[in-house]
Structure 1
């Protein structure tokens, strides 16, 4: 597999129409016959099922943001299917597993489609209005990750 970028960092990508700025680092961008795609590694006891399948459900929003950030960071569109690489470590051979799942067109859920708003618009509306519920137990409840951290009433 050919990686085009490892630790691709996007310092700032602003969507002026919704007043939202994204920043972040994407693990890997890979070259495929279909174009460039994200490769993201997931670990833990549920990363790979006993039959070797990797669960992709629930990862679309994260992968979609990665696609947008990586495309901006490297100046090329990310349009191939994303890979979720599942790695599970364990004390026994039976518990050690690896597998790959794919996500196609994850970016579609972030963007408006003409009939309904995408997740980016929903997120911007919640942040600007203050109508969201924080989760102070989350590791993302931190000034580095949350733009509303300084004024958040949920973490008190």
Structure 2
């Protein structure tokens, strides 16, 4: 919860939502990609990707179809049966992105999404994220210390010690 003010999501004040409804909203509207790869390394790639659908109570057949569709989109369909632990760093990050996309979110939050990747792989992951924004209408919100990555965004907010210090408009002045 914020320190002050209100947060409205699709016209609803988030404070009025019960824990269960808030979780359902979080699971359906938002996707999350973190710098650390939160994967179950002993499970298959597909099992990792469809976990949000399992949590949402989606049936096995539909989970598989939607999971495979998003793996196709990220060029990982051939790895669906592989153990997640056997993938490269870039592949693991793409699995995390697939998992974030499987619920067709409207907003994708990414926390240092390229922080653990080499430059070339990081650029591939960036391109995937920006493609989702440009061609699938997903709002992309990213936290990064990487100035090159930040430069690719339409709008930037600068935060220091937890406080908003400047926006693009002020930064340019």
TM-score by length of 1: 0.29
Tell which has more relative contact order, 1 or 2 (C-alpha 8 A, sep 6+). Answer: 2
The structure with the largest helix share of the pair is 2
